[in-house]
Chains A and B, each alone.
Chain A
């Protein structure tokens, strides 16, 4: 496991073909040929994408069956989802506080405007 698995996961997810492959594997394991079928790219190119996904821990290639099916692994995706959730909460709560603060500021402004009249 690399120390920065989240970055590896984000980098692996940055490519649309790799996201397509993950979407395909979400519906069940598949061979390299089956994975390559919907994409207009060569088998070696697909293999390179599979290697990036495997290095990021997003997929697993079975060593048992002869056709070595690829399988989705959910853990790194969960890390990404967890991180995004924490980040979202940081800003959602900051924005809640900003919202409240802006209301107070505007109330004060109104009051001051009335006093000036």
Chain B
């Protein structure tokens, strides 16, 4: 089963949004991609975004402070405070802007082994209007040519 484009999404009408994806990689590696400073900034965010990590400490009570750079040059400061880090099964975090305000929303990610592949389940508790607006801004700016470049990059990566 190809992983691309087959996310299952359920938006439960009470406060939770669930997104799932099966990755063709062992659970330990997928968990590492979510928690290792060398990896996490390499894929986080929509097409066309890059990430600069200011500091990262992935353990309960630790945090990841980073800036997301949008394709139009806009910077979005982000802060993730880790509540749970259970290798290699589960992470839970509170996601905010790092300005000392309350977290904008809470998320948990679980990693399940499926015969060498890994099922990732992301659950988010519904956001306030503030994160809704931010998310809309961050993903609204990414249409068009960026998608094509991403597809080309993926094509080349699979060829090498």
Contacts and interface: CB of A to CB of B under 8 A. Distances in A.
B142 to A, nearest CB: 8
Interface in B1-48: 3-5, 7, 9, 11, 13-15, 17, 19, 21, 23-25, 29-30, 33, 39, 42-47
Contact of A92 (B7, B25, B42, B124): B7
A46 to B, nearest CB: 19
A80 B19 CA distance: 16
- The dominant DSSP class at the A interface is helix
B135 A97 contact: no
Contact of B24 (A3, A10, A103): A103
A87 B124 contact: yes
Given A86-B140, A87-B124, A88-B9, A102 B45 contact: no
A89 interface: yes
A96 B158 contact: no
Nearest to B26: A106
Q: How big is chain A's contact interface, by range?
A: 35 or more
Interface residues of B, number: 45
A14 B13 contact: yes
B13 A19 contact: yes
Nearest to A8: B129
Contacts of B124: 87
B132 interface: yes
Nearest to A18: B13
B4 A86 contact: no
A41 B103 CA distance: 37
Nearest to A83: B132
A104 interface: yes
A10 B131 CA distance: 14
Contacts of A106: 25, 29
Interface stretch (B53-61, B80-88, B149-157): B149-157
Contact of A87 (B13, B14, B30, B135): B135
25 contacts: A3-B129, A7-B126, A19-B13, A83-B135, A86-B132, A86-B135, A86-B140, A88-B7, A88-B19, A89-B139, A90-B45, A91-B122, A92-B7, A94-B44, A95-B3, A95-B23, A95-B120, A96-B4, A96-B5, A100-B153, A100-B157, A102-B30, A105-B25, A105-B39, A107-B160
Q: 3 tightest A-B contacts by CB?
A: A97-B43, A93-B46, A4-B129
